[in-house]
Structure 1
Amino acid sequence: MTQTSHNPDSTRERIQRTAIELFSDNGYERTSLREIAEQLGLTKAALYYHFKTKEDIAASFFDSYAADVDAICEWGEALPRTLDNRIELLRRYAEVVRSHVPVMKFMQHNQAALTTLDRGSVFRQRLNRLRDLLVEDDAPLLHRLRAWDALTTLYSAWVTFRGRRESDVELRDAALAISESLIEANAKNIDPTSK
């Protein structure tokens, strides 16, 4: 037995990685704990030690994402709302999205499971908290929409965009360029609807 097999975090992470792959390939509803255990070469008892249900596994994906976004928000909330800080917030969020792509794809393709797990609200709450750091509540609608689009562009680059096989770096850079330009337009008070 390797040393990593004795590490609970390592086994837990392997379970999460395998589960998200199976959920993505077979669908959340059609994947059982038995299949996850078999794929990993674990007994069901060993799997139960870490997660009692597949709902617990799925919830752990969202908890990890939420903790990462909360850390960014706490960082942003402690600083003045300058353009530079807002741009840095977008960069940090881009890295969180990139590191949670399998979870984001799971969310996109398993909407029914999100409702059952009541985890869609976790995602929305975090996006709203991030948006609040990018734009003031009383800002014009155009500015509020730009801030929202700056965040959703980062999400869609990895989850919904169907490109020609761009690398992670190319996707990140292009999505960040769009997101940053939206926040910069707010800072410069650019209104493309005025003539």
Structure 2
Amino acid sequence: MPRRSADTRAEIRAVALELFAQRGFEQTSLREIAERLDITKAALYYHFPSKDKLISELFSPLVVDLEAFSVDAVASGPEGMRATLDGYLELCHRHKMLFQGLLRDFGALARLDVLDALVRKRVELDRALVGSDRPADRARAVIAFGGLQDCVVLMAEEPLDSYRTAAVDAALRALLPD
């Protein structure tokens, strides 16, 4: 694939994200990324000295978005459940290629502490959503958020608006105690 612009670093990120989403982080080599871009492996290393640095940079926007989202979700508390769930679905959709890569390869992210940071933030969100630390309440939050993430990954080819309402409604039902 010939390069389309002068922003090689951005092109590397875009191609890497696509390949990671398709195959996983460990199963994609830097050589494959370089070949797809028709650049040398040395040129790729100039921009990203290791695959770990590339992966970390790809996850940085998700971590930033999740942090900002978390502040809003904690502030709205259980009263803002629908808006929180809809916002989370939107966030997951925006970063769906990363979630696809995550599904294929948790190990690479555990090595980089990315997974720990994401899990800690999710636990915080679970608690904020239900306003409780009780295991039964948190289980409902885990199912609600996890279900939204799964929708985005498993329905990646579908437009978000084709399933948004159904997904948020189902997540809300999971949150309501019997």
TM, length-normalised to structure 1: 0.76
Alignment check: 8 A CA contact 1:151 1:179 kept = yes
Query: Which residue in 1 is equivalent to 2:59?
Result: 62
2:132 to 116, 137, 141: 137
Instruction: Measure, in 2, the Cα distance between the counterparts of 1:24 and 1:128.
Output: 24
Alignment check: 8 A CA contact 1:22 1:31 kept = yes
Deviation, 1:162, is 6.7
Alignment of 1:16-31 (within 5 A): 16-31=13-28
Identity over the aligned pairs, expressed in percent?
A: 31
Structure 1 consecutive aligned stretches of length 4 or more whose deviation exceeds 6 Å:
none
Instruction: Measure, in 2, the Cα distance between the counterparts of 1:119 and 1:112.
Output: 10
Higher RCO (C-alpha 8 Å, min separation 6): 2
Number of residue-to-residue matches in the alignment: 175
Structure 2: which 5+ runs fail to align? none
Deviation, 1:127, is 0.9
Instruction: Measure, in 1, the Cα distance between the counterparts of 2:31 and 2:158.
Output: 36
Deviation, 1:31, is 2.6
Deviations 1:145-182 (CA, angstroms, capped at 9, x unpaired): 212211111111122x479x754322332211111233
Query: Which residue in 2 is equivalent to 1:81?
Result: 77
Alignment check: 8 A CA contact 1:62 1:122 kept = no
Deviations 1:106-129 (CA, angstroms, capped at 9, x unpaired): 111113323333322122112112
Structure 1: which 5+ runs fail to align? none
Alignment check: 8 A CA contact 2:92 2:99 kept = yes
Alignment of 1:150-165 (within 5 A): 150-159=144-153, 161=154
Alignment check: 8 A CA contact 1:158 1:171 kept = no
Deviation, 1:27, is 4.2
Instruction: Measure, in 1, the Cα distance between the counterparts of 2:169 and 2:121.
Output: 22
Query: Which residue in 1 is equivalent to 2:168?
Result: 176
User: In structure 2, what residue type is equivalent to 1:168?
Assistant: L
